[in-house]
Amino acid sequence: MKKLTIIGAGPGDPELLTIKGLKALQSADVVLYDALVNPVLLDHAPNATYVFVGKRRGYKSYKQQEINELIVEFAKTNEHIVRLKGGDPFVFGRGFEEMEFAQSYGIDTEYIPGISSSIGVPGLANIPVTHRNLSRSFWVVTATASDGSLSPDIHLAAQSDATVVVLMGLSKLSEIAEIFQKNGKSALPVAVLQDGSLPTAKNVFGTVENIVEVVEKERIRSPAVIVLGEVVGLQNVTANFSRQQELENLLTQAAI
């Protein structure tokens, strides 16, 4: 039976791939992977043909319909097609669309979740998206609508007291900040987290009022996750605790 497996690769660190995802890769005949996928993961599919279908300078940029058709075309001569996507395929990853298209051609499909950057990346920066007495819920919003304009959900999210996580939003950060300011949230803490769980990760912090200047000064680039909410301030608590622990350890060693 021809099969398509949609796998979430997580937020960059190859060790964050699930065991089930790893096993599926090991049996792949073809792997179609995106730009945000760590290429180290391809080592788990030693017998597969690798096809890069992400958007990156110097490579052909595939449209979604072309990727759908590639899946079906490869399934004509191969048993197991793997679609490897960064984060989780069902969180702004269009994974379900690819499954639907494959199913319409009689191809069996399976979805294997991945760690979403909307939760995992803030967590790695010591920012929980929810916290008792600070945030009872969280929004995950894409910054851009299908026509390229700012998503209208940003306006709704800015009216909430929930944590707001914006994916693919760095180019629209100034617009986002302006909307939050108009909703009286100039002092709200903001984090912009670059490169997820990779060694090149770089995190900057500020408020709605100054985050655009901070990002420009530190030359933050995509991919980056934007987090707006009181929970962002908790990373300072963790950092201060760590420094206090280090100081206490040093004093203990000096006493010995």
Q: List the catalytic residue out of 13, 34, 88, 195.
A: 34
Q: List the catalytic residue out of 55, 161, 182, 217.
A: 55
Q: Give CA 99 to chain center in angstroms.
A: 20
Nearest to 46 by CA among 31, 61, 56: 31
User: Hey, where are the domains in the chain?
Assistant: 3-115, 118-238
* Residue 55 is among the residues annotated as catalytic for this protein: yes
Query: What are the tens digits of pLDDT across the range 201-249?
Result: 999 999 999 999 999 999 999 999 999 999 999 987 655 544 445 444 5
Note the pLDDT of residue 200.
Answer: 94
pLDDT at 53 over 50: yes
Class of domain 118-238: alpha beta
Note the pLDDT of residue 253.
Answer: 54
Q: List the catalytic residue out of 168, 172, 185, 195.
A: 168
Of residues 45 and 254, more confidently modeled: 45
Q: Which sign does the torsion angle of CA 72, 78, 79, 83 carry?
A: negative
Rounded to whole angstroms, how far apart are CA atoms 106 and 199?
41
Q: How far is CA 99 from CA 148, 170, 256, in A?
A: 25, 29, 63
CATH 3.40.1010.10 correct for 3-115: yes
pTM of the full structure = 0.89
pLDDT at 59 over 80: no
* Residue 108 is among the residues annotated as catalytic for this protein: no
Q: pLDDT confidence of 119, banded at 50, 70, 90? A: very high
Query: What are the tens digits of pLDDT across the range 138-194?
Result: 999 999 988 889 999 999 999 999 999 999 999 999 999 999 999 999 999 999 999
DSSP the chain: --EEEEEE-BSS-GGGS-HHHHHHHHT-SEEEE-TTS-GGGGGG-TTSEEEE-S--TTS----HHHHHHHHHHHHTT-SEEEEEESB-TTSSS-HHHHHHHHHHTT-EEEEE----HHHHHHHHTT--S-BTTTBS-EEEEESB-TTSSBPTHHHHHTTSSSEEEEES-GGGHHHHHHHHHHTT-TT-EEEEEESTTSTT-EEEEEETTTHHHHHHHHT--SSEEEEESGGGGHHHHHHHHHHHHHHHHHHHHHH-
* Residue 153 is among the residues annotated as catalytic for this protein: no
